[in-house]
Amino acid sequence: MLEKSTESHEKFWEIFSKQDRKKIDEFKKYMDKFAINFNLYKDGNFIERSLPFDVVPRIISKEDFSKIEKGLVQRVTALNMFLEDLYTDEKIINDGVVPREFVLQAKGYLEKFKGFSPSQKIRTHINGIDLVKDSANDEWVILEDNLRVPSGSSYPLSIRDTYRKIYPDFFESMKIKPIKQYPKYIADAMNYVNCGGINIVLSPGRFNAAYYEHSYLADKIGAELVRAHELKVVDKKLYFKNYDGRLIKVGAVYRRLDDDFLDPSFFNPDSLIGVPGLVEAYLSGNVAIMNGIGNGVADDKGIYYFVPKMIKYYLGEEPILQNAPTYLPYFKEDMDYIFNNMEKLVIKDVAEAGGYGVLFGHAMTATKIADLKLIIKADPRRFIAQELVEFYDEKCYIDGKLQDRKADFRAYVVMGKDVKVWECGLTRYALEAGNYLVNSSQGGGFKDTWIME
Amino acid sequence: MEQLLTANVATNLYWLGRYLERIGSTFILVMKAYDSVIDIDKDEGVALYKKFGIDLKYTNSQSFLNNAILGEHSANIYNLTLMARENAIICRSHIDTEAFGEIMDLNAILERASKNKIDITHQCIDSSDSIIREIWGTLSRRKNRQSSDYFFRLGKVVEELDFHLRFDSDKELVKVVVKNIDSIIKKLLCKNEADVEAYQSLNAEKEDIMAEIDKRIGQIIVG
């Protein structure tokens, strides 16, 4: 089902009908020429591939974006307050809003960081919040909060430049918000928390799926792109090793690797992509790390259930954007509901990401459902269940024809002195009709997102 | 010229310069030999590749081009473009965007030829050569040169020197290239001239000149 067409949609189709369709090929050529890749490992082989791109943009009205913007500023503010509280005073737990046991069982909760407050008390610097627009009530719904290392912003940033050059008519005739300010949002956020020194982007290296993005963003935000062995910790301070042997102090790290790999002397000792001593430098207040260490607890799919409660608890406000209806088998009442309605629910493993560990009840056999019930019963904290949100399709121009595909929207929210919602985002669509999984790691493609002025 | 660079990026920029220059210089020599192989001296290609330490075999001018550019030997140009591509990806935030795109294009042209076993034509070499010229052009057009530009250029001139020494070029020409290397090293080291120019004696053996230059580069990239 498609969203109701707006004036902007009509305008788009009017201009689109007059454009030379052959020029669509230029997008792929551009992405190949500039190696705009999202890499994959398949059967042990490293495969460089460009993300499939669809020329039909997602168009978001000014009114819709205004609500999304307010809702996301509210949500990320509350999530940041939750993390700060959780690792310091634990008021929300002591007041019984979030069960202590439930939090402590979250894989992303790192007890060793209890009592530590990072620079400017900011932990959720760069966030990717996944939304869909529910066709049942025409409202945007939050599906997931990504508060660790959300990726994807470089793709729309890169493609927009090309889009404007290939099809300038749209940008001349439609009032589309410009998007180039995003790297500045990140740079400002980095500078705000910087503990004295240069800004860097820490990448696992050339063979990471999102290496293109690491390199692109480092360039655009004016930070040095480095790998772990190009850094050194001396006296609890982090240094960048310059080619001439000089050590330059680092004040803020935009890390593109998970907590587990960040520091082999603190986390996984086998990590070859981490910096020994980095956590100590962080805990000594000598360097800011964005996003904060230990954020995994807040983007745990189980904790997601509690975000509307956090908004009310910390801000005294009603949530502007709603969660998808979610049930926790951890609670007896919810477990009963889930077991009685498995066929119509989506079951998610809280420890998985990237579209993995998502099971659709309607697509499962009776035996599989029975097996799943046993697994859930044995470890209820590991799962959540959600009502299947029938979100809108988006028109896609695939194989020379317009076809409908499921699409979500990842909004990027940057927290520095202020909280900014980028006036673009990553619209991801499923390559096959009827598929609800749109993740890039599941082979999904992307579209440009036009926010109307 | 104050610009921070990791040793890895500096090294990759240097090698990017070397590989691109090696590819460009090889194209020129191959085209010259090709002209001769057609109807003047069939063995010209053999003699050329002997200088690279390669025993090149071919039956006619077309197979000379194919084997020279894509043969199974250390001077295979497709492999060189692959290495240049890797260098470029690693240091992409320090090179011109257009130049980066041209390097990807250069690799794509030779990848198509290599994977589809397409005959190498003089047009293919011409267009690849034009791409390389365009890459150097983008570098020369930069107004405010930074360390990254100098590492890239250093690779180019060191490779030039290697070719001159390998092909016994005129001593004066070698002197000019060495002077050029000197001036780049000076800019990168920001040290006094006497220290840098210590190895300028061109009476040394070819290998000693290259070894001395490698030593100097080792002094610049210490990280």
What pLDDT was estimated at residue A267?
96
Kindly state the average pLDDT of the residues B185-192.
Answer: 74
Mutate to test the interface with A, among B3, B8, B111, B220 (most CBs of A within 10 A): B8
- CB-CB neighbors (< 8 A) of A225 in chain B: 9, 93
Longest dimension (CA), chain A: 67
Asked if A31 and A53 touch (Cβ cutoff 8 Å), the reply is yes
Kindly state the average pLDDT of the residues B42-50.
Answer: 95
Structure tokens at A26: 């230029």
What pLDDT was estimated at residue B193?
44
What pLDDT was estimated at residue B196?
45
Kindly state the average pLDDT of the residues A122-142.
Answer: 97
Kindly state the average pLDDT of the residues B125-137.
Answer: 93
Q: Name the pLDDT band for A275 (thresholds 50, 70, 90).
A: very high
Q: Is residue B71 part of a domain?
A: yes
Whether residue B146 is predicted with pLDDT greater than 50 in this model: the reply is: yes
Q: Is residue B150 part of a domain?
A: yes
Kindly state the average pLDDT of the residues B144-151.
Answer: 88
* Domains recognised in chain A with CATH numbers: 7-176+297-318+390-451 (no CATH), 196-286 (3.40.50.11290), 325-387 (3.30.1490.270)
Report the alpha-carbon distance of residue B69 to residue A148 in Å, rounded: 47
Q: Is residue B20 part of a domain?
A: yes
Give the whole-number percent of chain A exceeding pLDDT 90. 88
Q: Name the pLDDT band for A233 (thresholds 50, 70, 90).
A: very high
pLDDT in tens, A307-346: 999 999 999 999 999 999 999 999 999 999 999 999 999 9
Report the alpha-carbon distance of residue B158 to residue B210 in Å, rounded: 8
pLDDT in tens, A18-27: 999 999 999 9
CA-based torsion, B30, B34, B40, B44: positive or negative: positive
The pTM assigned to this predicted structure is 0.90
What secondary structure, in 3-state letters, does B168-220 show? CCCHHHHHHHHHHHHHHHHHHHCCCHHHHHHHCCCCCCHHHHHHHHHHHHHHH
Report the alpha-carbon distance of residue A83 to residue A87 in Å, rounded: 6
> How far is the first Cα of chain A from the last one, in angstroms, to the nearest whole number?
26
Q: Is residue B196 part of a domain?
A: yes
Report the alpha-carbon distance of residue A344 to residue B99 in Å, rounded: 53
Q: Is residue B2 part of a domain?
A: no
Asked if A228 and A277 touch (Cβ cutoff 8 Å), the reply is no
Asked if A327 and A353 touch (Cβ cutoff 8 Å), the reply is no
Taking each continuous run of H as one helix and of E as one strand, the counts in chain A are: 15, 21
pLDDT in tens, B191-221: 434 444 444 555 567 777 888 888 888 888 8
Residues, chain A = 453
- Could you list the residue range(s) of the whole structural domain that residue B40 is in? 7-220
> Residue A349 — φ and ψ, nearest 5°?
-80, 120
Kindly state the average pLDDT of the residues B19-38.
Answer: 95
Q: Among B8, B93, B222, whose Cβ lies nearest the Cβ of A244?
A: B222
pLDDT in tens, A241-270: 999 999 999 999 999 999 999 999 999 999
Return the bridge partners of A145, or none: A129
Asked if A158 and A217 touch (Cβ cutoff 8 Å), the reply is no
Whether residue A274 is predicted with pLDDT greater than 50 in this model: the reply is: yes
Q: Nearest CA to B176 among B198, B188, B160? A: B160
Kindly state the average pLDDT of the residues B39-52.
Answer: 95
Are A32 and B104 inside 8 Å of each other by CB? yes
Report the alpha-carbon distance of residue B223 to residue B220 in Å, rounded: 9
Tell me which of B106 and B210 has the higher pLDDT.
B106
Kindly state the average pLDDT of the residues B100-114.
Answer: 94
Other C-beta atoms lying within 10 Å of the C-beta of residue A1: 9
Structure tokens at A314: 């910390």
Q: Name the pLDDT band for A191 (thresholds 50, 70, 90).
A: very high
Report the alpha-carbon distance of residue A51 to residue A174 in Å, rounded: 26
Determine the distance in angstroms separating the CA of A139 from the nearest CA of chain B, rounded to an integer.
40
Q: Is residue B204 part of a domain?
A: yes
Look at A84-88, A123-127, B134-138, B193-197 and tell me which has the smallest mean pLDDT.
B193-197
Strands (E) in chain B, as ranges, are none
- CB-CB neighbors (< 8 A) of A215 in chain B: 89, 92-93
Other C-beta atoms lying within 10 Å of the C-beta of residue A233: 22
Q: Which residues of B touch A (CB under 8 A)?
A: 4-10, 86, 89-90, 92-93, 97, 100-101, 104-105, 108, 147, 220-223
Tell me which of B35 and A39 has the higher pLDDT.
B35
Give the whole-number percent of chain B exceeding pLDDT 70. 92
Chain A residue with Cα closest to B218: A244
Q: Among A33, A226, A245, whose Cβ lies nearest the Cβ of B105?
A: A33
Q: Nearest CA to A9 among A161, A151, A170, A166? A: A170
Structure tokens at B131: 């791409």
Q: Is residue B156 part of a domain?
A: yes
The domain tally of chain B equals: 1
Report the alpha-carbon distance of residue A83 to residue A100 in Å, rounded: 14
Q: Nearest CA to B18 among B163, B121, B141, B130? A: B163
Q: Is residue B134 part of a domain?
A: yes
Structure tokens at A33: 């020429």
Q: Examine the predicted complex and report whether its ipTM is higher than 0.85.
A: no
Q: How many CA atoms lie within 13 A of B150 on its CB side?
A: 23
How does the average pLDDT of chain A come out, rounded? Answer: 94
Determine the distance in angstroms separating the CA of A161 from the nearest CA of chain B, rounded to an integer.
13
Determine the distance in angstroms separating the CA of B56 from the nearest CA of chain A, rounded to an integer.
33
Whether residue B223 is predicted with pLDDT greater than 70 in this model: the reply is: no
Check residue B194 and give left, alpha or beta (phi > 0: left; psi -120 to 50: alpha).
alpha
What pLDDT was estimated at residue A172?
96
Report the alpha-carbon distance of residue B96 to residue B86 in Å, rounded: 15
Q: Among B6, B104, B105, whose Cβ lies nearest the Cβ of A230?
A: B6
Q: Name the pLDDT band for A51 (thresholds 50, 70, 90).
A: confident
Whether residue B189 is predicted with pLDDT greater than 60 in this model: the reply is: yes
